Structures are given as structure tokens and as C-alpha cells.
Amino acid sequence: TKDGVNIQGYTVWSLLDKFEWEQGYSERFGLYYVDFQYQNKPRYPKASVHYYKAIVEANGFPNPREVRPLSANFCFMEKGKIDQI
């Protein structure tokens, strides 16, 4: 309980990027980026993978003073965008 809020669980929207009925494959909700332009649809971890991993390992939100900042560049994101963590 923090600030009077009893949190029972924490989850992500989707493990992988997926098809959205109105937006097709343009919306990216997953922890892993899926490159739909290739037949084998390679998957790449997003910055959110590392954050979610820290939550799971800490069995809750880790203390920000105890978490080492993550730093990396991922240049394979859609339209050449860089996901920086």
C-alpha cells in the first residue's frame, strides 16, 4: 500500500506487438518489437522489457535509488526511430 492505494498486481498490455483491428500493425503495445516486414517476423526487446524485468525481480516497483540507470540505443525500431533507455 502506497498513498492509500492497495495494488494487487501489475501487468503489461501485450508481450509482442500485434494486430489492432482499426490500426492494423501500426500500433506498438508489446514488450518486444516485431518486424512484420519479414516472413520470419524477428522480435527485438524494447526498453520496457528491462523496466518490467526490474519490477518482477523486485516483486514490486524497485526503489529508484537502488536501480542502476539503463542506457542503450535500439536503431531497428519502426521508421528508423531510436528507442533509447
pTM above 0.85, yes or no: no
Q: What are the residue boundaries of the structural domains of the chain, listed by start?
A: 14-84
Cell reading at 36: 512484420
Residue 23, C-alpha cell as written in the block: 490500426
Q: List pLDDT tens digits, range 8-54.
A: 777 777 777 776 788 776 777 788 888 888 999 888 888 888 888 88
* Strand partners of residue 83: 74
The string of pLDDT tens digits covering residues 51-76 is 888 888 888 777 777 666 655 555 45
Q: Which residues contact 12 (CB under 8 A, 6 or more apart)?
A: 30, 31, 48, 52
